[in-house]
């Protein structure tokens, strides 16, 4: 069933990379293309990697970004300029203060690479950086693996609403979250569980320093201002919950669904909320619809959710992103993954998408049909889609709403994938990924609030 509310028609935007594609390409802050890794033996390679890591961080700290960028594999140097590297490092310093040195360094062989896990002390946080180095001694990428803010004794809360830490205990480790509560006298008894999209995105919607939008923090504050509490959390393997994922090859969509369902049960049994609404963004939509059914949530809101299995999304979105040969090879890999087969011999140019470490997760996700799953929900569903979203199309949203037994569809004319307003071009959209001062689309929070209040009246 579908009820579509929209103001005006809009040209269909050109598809951009899907949430999963961003998970594999943007999870590293710098584009990571795996190059030839033959050369030094294992022991020599690890020793070389330690030396490369120390030199790279020392050059960044000294502001010598031209020399630091020259440490990347030659095939990447036209993409990783000294200017880009300088922006990344200065973003870290702006967010966390000056770097005062390495506290700990661990070297791990990973497929045909060496991963260096380096904990650096900044003045406002300890950051664990993961650097990937090939066996020729060249860097091929790095990203923030964990952020631990330092308690500086300020006692200040970044939000104008009360927040308290919360923890979900699982068999593989603890998942850490934040419960935001409305001000006293303005509490409805409802709570929203906010599920993040794919990639190394924390509970506030950030993957610093490359993505800093505060999108989930802003959503939580908007709901709190209307009397609705919310719980947002770092997914396993991300941020404060990093240690809850011991082996990326063993993670599946089912694990994320179990985590979300665990939070729903905890909110009901321990926090005593009368109405629980699951809000899933991007890949979080797929996870949320399954968790809402498993744990009997009262409602479900999909924002920018996929309306087709992930392999279908990738086939559409990769078509304009690569040549015919690579596209044909991508289709062949996706067909094998759909059949449940892992692919060992992946072309170098496609390793960022289909690296062996993520293939088990892809297999688990390819098997799931979003429309089939949302049809299994017996509660009212609200599907929200931005017309200027370059990752998920309006067609995806219409498929979800049509498949839902009690589905309503809301189209927001200028909203992007980051739930903020911008123009329809790539350049316009990118601002919404990087500017936390930009507000959410003005129609987003009111729509969710009206929907949630309607659930409470049905009880």
**Which residues fall within 8 angstroms of residue 54, CB to CB, at 6 or more apart?**
102, 105
Q: Mean pLDDT check: name the lowest of 134-148, 184-198, 298-312, 380-394.
A: 134-148
Helices and strands: H and E segment counts in the chain: 15, 13
Q: Which of 77-81, 330-334, 376-380, 429-433 has the lowest mean pLDDT?
A: 77-81
Lowest mean pLDDT among 34-48, 109-123, 188-202, 225-239: 34-48
pLDDT digits (tens, 9 = 90+) for 17-28: 333 333 333 333
C-alpha pair distances (Å), 270 with each of 234, 244, 263, 274, 277: 20, 22, 10, 12, 16
* Cβ count near 246 (within 10 Å): 12
The residues with which 231 forms a beta bridge, in sequence order, are: 179, 193
- Cα 22 from Cα 248, distance rounded (Å): 17
Residue 177 has phi, psi (to 5 degrees) of -140, 180
- Give the Cα-Cα-Cα angle 235, 148, 303 (nearest 5 degrees): 30
Sign of CA dihedral 373, 374, 379, 385: positive
Per residue in 83-132, pLDDT (tens digit) is 888 888 887 887 777 777 787 788 777 666 787 888 888 877 788 888 88
Pairing relationship of beta strands 173-181 and 162-170 according to DSSP bridges: antiparallel
Angle formed at CA 282 by CA 278 and CA 285, multiple of 5 degrees: 30
Alpha carbons 122 and 98: distance in angstroms, whole number: 5
Q: Do the Cβ atoms of 33 and 140 come closer than 8 Å?
A: yes
Rounded distance between C-alpha atoms, residue 296 and residue 395, angstroms: 28
Say what the pLDDT of residue 453 is: 92
The CA distance from 241 to 235, in Å, is 6
- Mode of pairing for the β-strands spanning 407-412 and 381-386: parallel
Contact 25, 134 (CB under 8 A): no
- The pLDDT mean for the chain works out to 83
pLDDT given for residue 223 in this prediction:
95
Q: Give the 3-state secondary structure of residue 51.
A: helix
Q: How far does CA 81 lie from the centroid of its chain?
A: 25
381 or 121, which is more confident? 381
What the chain holds in terms of domains, given with CATH numbers, is 28-149 (3.10.450.590), 158-309+368-458 (3.40.50.1820), 311-364 (no CATH)
**Is 1's pLDDT higher than 50?**
no
Neighbours of 318 (CB within 10 A): 20
Residues with Cβ within 8 Å of residue 108, at least 6 apart in sequence: 114, 115, 116, 117
CA distances from 300 to 70, 78, 160, 394 (A): 48, 44, 26, 19
Tell me the residue ranges of DSSP E strands in 208-339: 229-233, 275-281, 299-303
Query: For residues 392 and 26, what is the distance between their CA atoms, to the nearest angstrom?
Result: 17
Tell which residue, 33, 225, 235, has the closest CA to residue 141. 33
260 vs 91, more confident: 260
Percent of the chain's residues with pLDDT above 90:
51
Length of the chain: 459
Residues 386/414, Cβ–Cβ less than 8 Å: yes
Average pLDDT over residues 191-199: 94
Mean pLDDT, rounded, for 27-53: 50
Q: What is the mean pLDDT of residues 412-441?
A: 93
- C-alpha gyration radius of the chain: 22
DSSP state letters, 87-141: HHHHHHHHHH--EEEEEEEEEEEETTEEEEEEEEEESSEEEEEEEEE-TTS-EEE
Residue 302 DSSP one-character state: E
**Is the model's pLDDT at 211 over the cut of 80?**
no
| Span 393-414, pLDDT tens digits | 999 999 999 999 999 999 999 9
What percent of the chain lies above the pLDDT cut of 70?
84
CB 121 within 8 A of CB 21: no
CB 210 within 8 A of CB 26: yes
């Amino acid at each position: 069933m579908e009820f579509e509310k929209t103001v005006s028609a809009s040209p269909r935007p050109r598809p951009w990379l899907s949430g999963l594609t961003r998970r594999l390409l943007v999870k590293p802050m710098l584009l990571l293309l795996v190059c030839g890794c033959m050369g030094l033996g294992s022991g020599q390679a690890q020793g070389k990697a330690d030396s490369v890591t120390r030199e790279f961080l020392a050059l960044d700290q000294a502001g010598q970004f031209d020399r630091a960028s020259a440490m990347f594999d030659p095939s990447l140097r036209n993409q990783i300029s000294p200017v880009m590297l300088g922006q990344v490092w200065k973003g870290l310093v702006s967010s966390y203060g000056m770097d005062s040195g390495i506290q700990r360094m661990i070297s791990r062989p990973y497929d045909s690479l060496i991963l260096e896990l380096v904990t650096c002390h900044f003045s406002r946080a300890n950051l664990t950086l993961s650097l990937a180095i090939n066996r020729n001694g060249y860097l091929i990428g790095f990203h923030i693996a964990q952020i631990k803010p330092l308690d500086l004794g300020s006692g200040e809360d970044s939000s104008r609403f009360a927040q308290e830490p919360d923890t979900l205990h699982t068999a593989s480790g603890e998942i850490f979250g934040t419960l935001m509560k409305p001000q006293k006298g303005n509490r409805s008894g409802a709570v929203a569980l906010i599920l993040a999209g794919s990639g190394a995105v924390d509970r506030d919607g950030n993957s610093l320093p490359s993505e800093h939008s505060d999108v989930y923090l802003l959503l939580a504050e908007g709901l709190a201002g209307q009397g609705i509490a919310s719980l947002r959390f770092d997914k396993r393997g991300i941020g404060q919950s990093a240690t809850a994922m011991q082996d990326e090859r063993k993670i599946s969509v089912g694990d994320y669904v179990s985590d979300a369902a665990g939070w729903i049960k905890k909110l009901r049994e321990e926090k005593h909320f009368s109405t629980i609404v699951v809000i899933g963004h991007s890949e979080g939509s797929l996870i949320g619809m399954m968790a809402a059914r498993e744990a009997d949530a009262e409602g479900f809101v999909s924002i920018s959710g996929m309306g087709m299995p992930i392999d279908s999304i990738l086939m559409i979105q990769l078509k304009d992103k690569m040549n015919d040969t690579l596209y044909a090879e991508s289709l062949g890999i996706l067909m094998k993954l759909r059949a449940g087969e892992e692919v060992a011999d992946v072309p170098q140019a496609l390793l960022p998408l289909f690296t062996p470490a993520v293939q088990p997760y892809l297999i688990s996700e390819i098997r799931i049909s979003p429309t089939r799953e949302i049809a299994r929900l017996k509660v009212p569903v609200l599907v929200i889609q931005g017309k200027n979203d370059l990752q998920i199309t309006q067609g995806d949203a219409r498929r979800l709403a049509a498949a839902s037994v009690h589905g309503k569809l809301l189209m927001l004319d200028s909203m992007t994938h980051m739930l903020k307003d911008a123009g329809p071009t790539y350049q316009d959209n990118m601002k919404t990924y990087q500017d936390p001062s930009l507000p959410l689309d003005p129609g987003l929070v009111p729509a969710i609030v009206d929907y949630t209040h309607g659930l409470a009246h049905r009880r």
